[in-house]
Structure 1
Amino acid sequence: MNSYDVAIIGSGPGGYVAAIRCAQLGLKTAIIEKYTTLGGTCLNVGCIPSKALLDSSHHYEDAIKHFEEHGIDIPGEIKVNLKQMIARKQSVVDTTTGGIDFLMKKNNIDVYQGLGSFKDATHIIIKGDKDTEIEAKNIIIATGSKPSNLPFITLDKERVITSTEALKLKEIPKHMIVIGGGVIGLELGQVYKRLGAEVTVIEYMDRIIPTMDAGLSKELNKVLKKQKFKINTSHKVKSVERIGDEVIVKADNKKGEEIEFKGDYCLVSVGRRPYTDGLNAEAAGVKLNERGQIDVNEHLQTSAKNIYAIGDVIKGAMLAHKAEEEGVFVAETIAGQKPHINYNLIPGVVYTWPEVASVGQTEEQLTEAGVEYKVGQFPMRALGRSRASMDLDGFVKILADKTTDEILGFHMVGARAADLIAEAVVAMEFRASAEDISRMSHAHPTFAEAIKEAALAATENRALHV
């Protein structure tokens, strides 16, 4: 039987990063993955493939809507080759997952393919082509999450689908109904809207992206409606029925009236659930809470002190970069170091176009906490860079403490917001004030100038270009 200092169950961003950091710290490390490729949901059927399709569909939309204005004439009809688009997406996935294979070999990490199941707190049975048992002093659970569903919806994975199936459709839907106005539903909805589908979003809450700052929700709602999305908030779905190639969705609006939606595909995107199926956690003394999450303490230890859990399987935002931070945190904890994570400074991003990004506290949270704050906001359309690229939608908003001027929250909608949010995280990590940002030189012309202008707006309302 092979013995290890650390064994990790699950090879998503949390698991494989934890494995690399453990190996860097001199710990003999093994990683267990039930699928034939490493990388977990993010690399195989999540972050990476969805961004590949978002980029491809963005190129197509630019070609049919904007190239002429840029002085680019393309003779003949521009057509979508969905088969090639999906194939390119898969090649991106294959290259990326292959990169994880390389990193495991480079760091001398043993990889086991099969379903990892606890025998006890220090032994794991790996059920694959043949059963294998390994021993580990420390174990990290990084088994991730799976798409959630509503109890009355039957997912046939043909017409009533999850995000996994939406990444490999063989045709462009005529009318895609998206149940759920969160990140995944809006991103995949935008992919197929660009390619020619009619898209209807049905959201239970009173706004889309309901966990983010209300100002971001309002702006993105306005932009998506301009893009001809049909958005129905405050609608409670009560039935989904497939009849042949048609899907009928019935929902009650906020007045209690029944509304019927008909389409040829229905994407069910109502969140994700922690995945612990087959783990046999109880055999190791690992406790789950009422939501199916693994309970952990501030050191990310489970109820079994030598077993840790990270990523989507524990509480908190289900984000790949959160899982990565937790993977490093646990590896360094096992090695006897004293790492830390500031969960307030883990950014959230929606990869629609324009992109949406946020870090820190929202206005709603600050108001609820009784914190006095000031707001600096600057519109993207006032930037020369935005006019040059025709990306005029969105804004940057900075929330700062009214007394100390310390930045408490950063919220933005706009081109490259997913990249710009890193500046916000750095600023807040070092507890910068709005004035600090306002006094830093930002290259011109760039989208990042909106951050400086928003900081100026928060500092005695001194924005220069509005």
Structure 2
Amino acid sequence: MQAREADVAIIGAGSAGLSAWHAAHKHADNVVLIEGGKFGTTCARVGCMPSKLLIAAADAAHHARDAGGFGVRTGPVEVDGRAVMTRLKQERDGFVGHVLESMKRIDEADRIEGHARFEDPHTLIVDDRLRLKARTIVIATGSRTHWPKLFEAAGDRLIVNDDVFAWDELPQSVAVFGPGIIGLELGQALHRLGVRVRIFGKRGSLGPFRDQALHDYADRTFNEEFYVDPEAKVEAIERDGDGVIITFLERHTGKRLTERFEYLLAATGRRPNVDRLGLENAGLALNDAGVPCYNRFTMQCRNVDDSASHVFIAGDANQELPLLHEATTQGRIAGDNAGRYPEKRAGLRSTPLSIVFTDPQMATIGQNRALLEQRLGGCECIAVGEATFDNQGRARVLRRNRGLIRLYAEHGSGQFLGGELFGPQMEHIAHLLAWSLEQRAGVNQMLEMPFYHPVLEEGLRSALRDLSANLQQGPAIVERCMEHGPGD
């Protein structure tokens, strides 16, 4: 077995790992990057970019069908599934190529292919051919899809989102399990491209929403276009010929239905890729899910004796926020601290921001209302403002007048705290709100910003006005809120 030493070893060459390598290399010359799969990030290969390519094609088909509402006659809309997938793969390969091109900045000798596992806290074994000793180690191994055992009855008809982007042609039908971000995005896109789709959930959740009003509004809106049941009662899944048969109770009628689909798409969540790392040999404290315990501001792991470890963790591997911008930020913090170890610095964690590219789009900014109430000491400390897009001027012009905004602020200080959004082009409004929250802006300060007419942002102004009207401001309110504890 070969032997080698390094200042910093980074396990995983995805978004977090690459960010960690560049940050660590500023402080240490001998930094190695270990990848057990294909080089090229999850985002570029099977995540953000190919899914948005599929959604873009779906939206084009949808808007073409909807053109008649503007008095524009286009004739029957035909979707060439093979052409859709061909463009998707071509563009996807271009994005992957850009990632691979950027990796050329890393010396080939410092890019190691193979699966790494801990032999001891400072030693990694790579494919039983290399023993690598490192002063510090960054775990950036990402995550993978997981599903309930029930789904395995579908056999080779069981697929995950990675498999969708390998299709040469679109199927006739797909049953999607999981109405989260991935399930809703892919499910709606496939529906708009002419695929028969049903989306099944289990625990009642819908996308990222925690505010019940947003959840219910989105549920009604999506069901006007395609079938979504966040609390589905699925009785059986069976493999049948070249398809899968699903027996379930139809949510609107309660009737027992048995339907056949070409595929069962599992979008029921992801699990961190830490189970093959031999963490039992690393001396790390683990949580109930088997993930290392860590400080989210330094990304430094804790040892079993509660001392600070020389091991850091970043990206989807830590199961905190499975988003590319978060992985990049965490990787930069982890790499910086691994490179300068034993010195360490707290990194800047940006405002939580999540966007779902459905239509209407879904977005969340900051912490959800339940967490805010717990943090601030009860619901009496939080004001809520809302506005719908049902009659909003610009939305009606675009014939996209469905949506609801709910915003939160603190009584007393008037500081904006976050919100949940459902409506047209919320990706842009979500950024405005995230920037405002990052700058700790007050609601009245936000209302002083310029708003053009007619734009969708006027819907945001309506919600801010409602929020401002509901605010109780003054030091007495702040003192009263501080007297309450969580759960009061």
Q: Is the TM value for this pair above 0.5?
A: yes
1:360-401 CA deviation, whole Å, 9 max, x = no partner? 233344456513222222223444432343322213321111
Q: Distance in 1 between matches of 2:352 and 2:29?
A: 27
The SS at the match of 1:276 is coil
Aligned counterpart, 1:422: 431
More deviation, 265-274/110-119: 110-119
Residue in 2 that maps onto 1:350: 356
**Residues 259-338 of structure 1 mapped to structure 2, 5 A cutoff:** 259-264=256-261, 265-298=263-296, 299-303=298-302, 305-334=309-338, 335=340, 336=343, 338=345
Give how far 1:317 is off: 3.0
Instruction: Identify the range of structure 1 (5-14 vs 295-304) with the bigger mean alpha-carbon deviation.
Output: 295-304
Amino acid corresponding to residue 306 of structure 1 in structure 2: H
Render the CA deviation track for 1:160-195: whole Å, top value 9, x for unaligned.
222222333344344322222111111111111101
**Secondary structure of the corresponding residue to residue 153 of structure 1:** helix
- What is the Cα deviation at residue 456 of structure 1? 1.9
Partner of 1:13: 15
Q: In the aligned structure 1, how far is the partner of 2:157 from the partner of 2:27?
A: 48
Q: Secondary structure at the match of 2:301?
A: coil
Q: Indicate the residue corresponding to 1:203 in structure 2.
A: 201
Q: Deviation string for 1:133-168 (max 9, x for gaps)?
A: 433221111111111111232176742222222333
Match for residue 346 of structure 2?
Answer: 339
1:238 Cα shift? 5.0
Q: Which one-letter code corresponds to 1:88 in the other structure?
A: R
Matched ranges for 1:205-220 at <5 A:
205-209=203-207, 212-220=210-218
Aligned to 1:64: 65
Give me the TM-score of the superposition, normalised by structure 2.
0.84
Secondary structure at 1:459's aligned position in 2?
helix
Equivalence for 2:174: 176
Partner of 1:47: 48
In structure 2, relative to structure 1, the CA distance for the partners of 1:88 and 1:162 (3 Å cut) is: same
2:484 aligned residue: none
The residue type paired with residue 232 of structure 2 is H
Q: Decide which of 418, 443, 452 is 1:409's aligned counterpart.
A: 418
Distance 2:467 2:89 in 1: 45
Shift of 1:423: 1.6
> Aligned with 1:409: secondary structure?
strand
1:451 aligns with 2:460: yes
In 2, the alpha carbon distance for the partners of 1:207 and 1:300 equals 29
Distance 1:234 1:210, change over 3 A: farther
Q: Does 1:154 align with 2:163?
A: no
Q: What is the alpha-carbon distance in structure 1 between the residues aligned to residue 92 and residue 151 of structure 2?
A: 30
Shift of residue 277, structure 1, vs aligned partner: 4.2
1:80-119 alignment, distance < 5 Å: 80-106=79-105, 110-119=110-119
The Cα of 1:108 is off from its aligned counterpart by: 5.2
CA deviation profile, 1:330-359 (whole Å, cap 9, x unmatched): 12333345233447x211222111110001
Which one is further off, 52-61 or 205-214? 205-214
Deviations 1:73-116 (A, max 9, x none): 546x5322222222222223222222222323236583222222
Contact 2:293–2:301 at 8 Å: present in 1 too? Answer: yes
- In the alignment, what sits opposite 1:123? 123
What code does the residue aligned with 2:57 have? S
AA in 2 matched with 1:35 = G
| 1:358-373 aligned within 5 A | 358-367=364-373, 369-371=377-379, 372-373=381-382
Q: 2:443 aligns with which of 434, 446, 449?
A: 434
Q: TM-score, normalised by structure 1?
A: 0.88
Match of 1:377 in 2: 386
Question: 1:328 Cα shift?
Answer: 1.6
Query: What is the deviation of 1:208?
Result: 2.0
- For 1:4 and 1:420, locate their aligned partners in 2 and report how far apart those are by CA, in whole Å: 45
1:319 is displaced (CA, Å) by 2.3
1:240 counterpart SS class: strand
Counterpart in 2 of 1:230?
227
- Once the 2 structures are TM-superposed, how far is the Cα of residue 210 of structure 1 from its aligned partner? 6.3
Is 1:399–2:398 an aligned residue pair? no
Q: Is the 8 A contact 2:161 2:267 kept in 1?
A: yes
**Quick one: which of 218, 240, 249 aligns to 2:237?**
240
Q: Distance in 2 between matches of 1:235 and 1:139?
A: 43
Task: Measure how far apart 1:24 and its partner are.
Answer: 4.2
Report the residue type matching 2:6 in the other structure. Y
Provide the alpha-carbon RMSD of the alignment.
2.9
Aligned residue type for 1:327: G
Aligned to 2:479: none
The amino acid across from 2:79 in the alignment is V
Specify the code of the residue in structure 1 equivalent to 2:80: N
Does the 8 A contact of 1:395 with 1:450 survive in 2? no
One-letter amino acid of the counterpart of residue 386, structure 1: A
